[in-house]
Amino acid sequence: MIFELDARLSDSPFVDQVWQARSVRSGMFHSIASNYLMMVVTLRDGKSTFTVRGPETKATPLFCDADGEWMGINFRVGAFMPHLPVRALVDRDLTLPGVGERSFCLDGTAWQFPNYENADTFVDRLVREGLLVREPVVDVVLQGQLSDVSTRSVQRRFVRATGLTRKAIQQIERARTAMTLLQRGVSILDTVHEAGYCDQPHLTRSLKRLLGQTPAEIVGSTTLE
């Protein structure tokens, strides 16, 4: 295990999860595919930085130093920052300039670094300032409901808010569902059926690309833990 991790839900309709982590040793890990916007405060060598990360369309191997600390806010799909286009952040991140030791610059204004306890208050302020919004079309599309606007308009608004297509988001969600099933002890063959894959090779290809591990590797790592 490389990280010690704590996570909690949020009362904010914009937030899926707030988390904090600390590395207990150095080593390689995979940053797995995700379909949401994320904000991360990193504390390393006594210095804090604030980074906005976009959706990730594939697993990426990364090296983690020992003694790093992080606090993150994972937003719900469809929450985005109008002045930071999500499409420009897909598979990328943006570290905002610091303002002294305790603040960073966002949209021309100094903001204090949020922490695990006050993250919801921080998000509420983003919403009040108009720096964080939600696109209602996203929920309509993902739930398979009909919309009264043109298909082209729906697609444009959907991609503007998420940076991804509906198909890409569904593939990522399916891979994450499969991972959860495998970690709970569901067999690989049953996971193929429950997560909606065509067959085991289809499951293996998808998880290797999006999660960086095969189904057998996920089962093996869960057993070892």
The pLDDT of 177-190, averaged and rounded, is: 96
**170-224 CATH choice from 1.10.357, 2.60.40, 1.10.10, 3.40.190:** 1.10.10
Calculate Rg over the CA atoms of the chain: 18
The pLDDT of 89-94, averaged and rounded, is: 96
What pLDDT was estimated at residue 46?
A: 86
What is each CA distance from 123 to 110, 115, 184, 205, in whole angstroms? 15, 11, 32, 37
Contacts of 65 (CB under 8 A, 6+ apart): 23, 26, 44
Which tens digits make up the pLDDT trace of 117-175?
Answer: 999 999 999 999 999 999 999 998 888 875 556 688 888 999 999 999 999 999 999 99
Q: What is the per-residue DSSP string for 67-130? A: T-EEEEEEEPTTEE-TTS-GGGGTT-EEEEPEETTTEEEETTEEEEPP-TTTHHHHHHHHHHTT
The reply to whether the predicted model has a pTM over 0.85 is yes
What pLDDT was estimated at residue 149?
A: 60
All CATH 1.10.10 domain ranges in the chain, comma separated: 170-224
Sign of the torsion angle spanned by Cα atoms 20, 18, 37, 180 = positive
Which tens digits make up the pLDDT trace of 2-47?
Answer: 889 999 999 999 999 999 999 989 899 989 999 999 999 999 888 9
Angle at 21 between CA 39 and CA 109, to 5 degrees: 30
The pLDDT of 173-201, averaged and rounded, is: 97
